[in-house]
Amino acid sequence: MKIFLSQQNYHIGNFEENTRKIVAAIGKAKAVGADLVVFSELCVCGYPPRDFLEFEDFIEKCHAAVEEIRKHADSIGVIIGSPARNPKREGKDLFNAAWFLYEQEVKAVVHKTLLPTYDVFDEYRYFEPAFQWDCIPFKGTRIALTICEDIWNLGDNPLYRICPMDELIQQDPHLMVNISASPFDYDHDADRREVVHQNVVKYGLPMVYCNGVGSQTEIVFDGGSLVYDATGRLLKEMKYFEEDEYLAELDLNTARSSLDVTASLQQDLFDKEMRVSKIDDPEQVINYLTKEENIAQIHKALVMGIGDYFRKMGFTKAILGSSGGIDSAVALALACEALGKDNVLAVLMPSQYSTGHSVSDAEQLSRNLGNPYEIIPIKPVYDAFLSSLQPIFKDLPFSVAEENIQSRTRGNLLMAISNKFGYILLNTSNKSELATGYGTLYGDMAGGLSVLGDVYKMQVFALARYINKERELIPVNIIEKPPSAELRPNQKDSDSLPDYSLLDKVLYQYIERRKGPGEIIAMGIEEPLVKRVLKLVNTNEYKRNQFCPIIRVSTKAFGVGRRVPIVAKYLGY
C-alpha cells in the first residue's frame, strides 16, 4: 500500500487556510499514486483549540471543513483529525476524532481513548473517551487507527487502565496508523521514536505516525513523523521544525511479525531508564541541559516559536531592550533570524549605572546582526521620577525601589515605541531569573512574548556559543563578562543569586523533576542553598502569574503547563 504522510503547520481556527492546505496535499498524494493520505490530530481546526471547543459555531465550522475535504476523498483514502459530536446524552458533548474518508463518504470516525490531562494537555476538559474500538476495512486490509496518546500507555507504569491497541489487535489488523499533535521538548523526539518502536515490536505490525508541526502560542510542535515496518526497522523520520511530506510503500500482505517482544521492550525501557538516571545526577544536569544536540533543537524551536507567533497573529515587527547582556543578545539574534533583521528594533537605554562597554557591546551586536537600533538614555526620565517621589521617599536610602524605577522606565519607553509604531515587545528574561523572581514587574518583565523564559541561564550561554558557531554574531565580551542588571554601582547577578551553574542544578531538579527539598539535599547539594532557592521559587509565583506567554522547550515550562497556587505554604515557607 502506498501511504502519503502530510506533516503540516496549521493555524488554530483558520478553517479556510487549513482546509486549503489539506486539499492541496490530497491532490499531491493522488498525483504520486497514493492509496491513502494521512494528516495530523485535529488538523481541521488546529491543536490545541482549547475553549473554542465550547462554541457551537466553532464545531459547525469544523464539520463544514470535513464536508469540503470529503469531496476530494474520491479515489484515495483520507485520514484527518476533527472534533466529532457525542450522540449520547451521557458524557462530554465531543470526541477528539480521526475521520476516515473514501469514495466521497465518511467511512469511519474513530474516537480518541486516552485523553491526557497533564502538563500542557487538558483534553478531558472537552472530550469524552472512546467506548468502542474497531479496525477500518480498506482495499482488502484492516487499519488500526489511533490518536496520539492512544499509543503511549506502555511500560511498567501505565497512566491509563486501557490500551486501545490491545483491543484493536484482536481484530487482526494489517497496519497501525497514529495521527498526533505531540509537542516539542528537547528530548521528546527520542521518547517518541521509542514509543512508536515499542508499539511496532509489541504488535508485530508496521506503523505510520503523522505528527503536526508549527508553533501555537507557547507550544511548539516539531514534526518528525515516522514510518516503521513490521520488523521494527525505521523506514523514514521526517523533517523537524518544517512542513514535510513522504510517500511510504508498505507490504501489508505478510503475516504479523513474530519478534521477541519481551526482550525488545525490556531493552527500550532500560535505555529510557538510563537516560533518566543521568539527568537525575546533579553533576550531569548542566552537561545534559547544554549538550549541543539539545541546544540545536532549542534554537530551532525558539526561531519557529517567534516566527509563527508573529505570522499567525499578523504581526511583522518586533522591539526589545538591548542591554549589552547575554539574554537580550541571544533574544535579538533569534528574533532577527525568525523575522528578518530589518524587522527587529533594538533599543539601548543606558543609565548612569551602565558601563561604557555595555553600550558599545550592544551597538556592536546590532552592527553584526544588521538590525536597526536606537539609543535613549534614561537618566532624565529616572531623575523626573525621583523628583516626583522625593516628597514621599524623603531621605530614605537607595534601595530596590530606585532600582526598579530604572527597569520600569525602560519598560515604559519600550511600550511607548511599541504602541506608536505597532511593534511587539519581546521579553528577554530567562528561566533562572523567572524562577527566582529576579526581575521587575512592569519593567524588564514586560512583553508580548517571552523568548527565553523556558531556557535556563547556562543554556543561554550555550545558545550564544551555538549562534556564534560559524561566525561571531554575539560579541565575545557579552558572553564572557559577569552577568549584571546594572541598576546600581558595580552590581552583579551573583550579589543576589547563587552562581548559575549551582542555581540551575537545583532549579532543574525542583521544576522539571519535581523533587522535594529532602530529595535534592540527598543528592549532595548543600541544604542552605536548596532551601534558599526553593523559597525564592515559591514566593515569586505571583510574578510569573502576570507574565506573558513563554515559548515552551522543556518538559516543564512556566505557564499553562505548570499550575501551582500563588497563596500557599507548601514546604513550610
Give the pLDDT confidence score for residue 269 in this predicted structure: 47
Q: Let me know whether 262 and 302 are in one domain.
A: no
Q: How confident is the model at residue 489 (pLDDT cuts 50, 70, 90)?
A: confident
Q: Let me know whether 229 and 304 are in one domain.
A: no
Q: Let me know whether 233 and 152 are in one domain.
A: yes
Q: Let me know whether 229 and 288 are in one domain.
A: no
Q: Let me know whether 161 and 301 are in one domain.
A: no
Q: How far apart are CA 374 and CA 348, in angstroms?
A: 6
374 as an active site residue: the answer is no
Give the pLDDT confidence score for residue 261 in this predicted structure: 47
Give the pLDDT confidence score for residue 273 in this predicted structure: 41
Q: How far apart are CA 553 and CA 550, in angstroms?
A: 9
Cβ burial of 261 (10 Å; 0-12, 13-18, 19+) is middle
- For the chain, how long is the longest CA-to-CA vector? 87
Instruction: Decide: 40 and 226 in contact? Cβ < 8 Å.
Output: no
pLDDT of 145-201, one tens digit each? 999 999 999 877 789 999 999 999 999 999 999 999 999 999 888 899 999 999 999
Give the pairing of strands 141-147 and 136-138.
Answer: antiparallel
Give the pLDDT confidence score for residue 405 in this predicted structure: 96
pLDDT(452) > 70: yes
Q: Let me know whether 243 and 269 are in one domain.
A: yes
pLDDT of 395-450, one tens digit each? 999 999 999 999 999 999 999 999 999 999 999 999 999 999 999 999 999 999 99
Domain boundary residue, one of 243, 276, 309: 276
Q: How confident is the model at residue 572 (pLDDT cuts 50, 70, 90)?
A: low
Cβ burial of 113 (10 Å; 0-12, 13-18, 19+) is buried
Instruction: Indicate the range of 118-127, 141-150, 492-501 predicted with least confidence.
Output: 492-501
Which stretches does DSSP call E strand in 151-199? 175-180
Give the pLDDT confidence score for residue 259 in this predicted structure: 53
Ordered alpha helix ranges (H), 75-156: none
Mean pLDDT, residues 499-506: 95
pLDDT of 367-403, one tens digit each? 999 999 999 999 999 999 999 999 999 999 999 999 9
Number of domains in the chain: 2
Domain boundary residue, one of 223, 258, 276: 276
535 as an active site residue: the answer is no
Half-sphere exposure of 543 (CA within 13 A, CB side): 22
Positive or negative CA dihedral for 185, 189, 194, 200? positive
pLDDT of 507-553, one tens digit each? 999 999 999 999 999 999 999 999 999 999 999 999 999 999 999 99
Ramachandran angles phi, psi of 108, nearest 5° = -160, 150
pLDDT(327) > 50: yes
Q: How far apart are CA 200 and CA 64, in angstroms?
A: 35
Give the pLDDT confidence score for residue 266 in this predicted structure: 46
For the chain, the average pLDDT equals 93
Cβ burial of 524 (10 Å; 0-12, 13-18, 19+) is exposed
Q: How far apart are CA 243 and CA 211, in angstroms?
A: 10
pLDDT(276) > 60: no
236 as an active site residue: the answer is no
* Angular region, 539: left φ>0, alpha ψ -120 to 50, beta rest: alpha
Q: Let me know whether 516 and 403 are in one domain.
A: yes
C-alpha cell at 104: 466521497
Q: Let me know whether 390 and 423 are in one domain.
A: yes
pLDDT of 49-84, one tens digit each? 999 999 999 999 999 999 999 999 999 999 999 999
Q: Percent of the chain having pLDDT more than 90?
A: 87
Number of Cβ within a 10 Å radius of residue 560: 18
Catalytic residue among 148, 163, 210, 336: 148
Q: Let me know whether 455 and 552 are in one domain.
A: yes
Catalytic residue among 43, 45, 62, 112: 112
- Is-above-0.85 flag for pTM? yes
Instruction: Decide: 472 and 496 in contact? Cβ < 8 Å.
Output: no
Give the pLDDT confidence score for residue 189 in this predicted structure: 86
Mean pLDDT, residues 25-47: 98
Q: How far apart are CA 104 and CA 98, in angstroms?
A: 16
Catalytic residue among 21, 41, 336, 486: 41
Distances (CA, A) of 107 to 6, 74, 99, 103, 169: 20, 12, 8, 9, 20
Secondary structure letter of residue 396 according to DSSP: P
Q: Which stretch of DSSP H or E encloses residue 38? A: strand 36-38
Q: Let me know whether 525 and 473 are in one domain.
A: yes
Q: Let me know whether 201 and 321 are in one domain.
A: no
Residue 177: strand, helix, or coil: strand
Q: Let me know whether 204 and 314 are in one domain.
A: no
Number of Cβ within a 10 Å radius of residue 364: 17
pLDDT(275) > 60: no
Domain boundary residue, one of 227, 246, 276: 276
Which CATH number characterizes residue 323's domain?
3.40.50.620
For residue 319, what are the domain limits? Answer: 282-572
Which CATH number characterizes residue 59's domain?
3.60.110.10
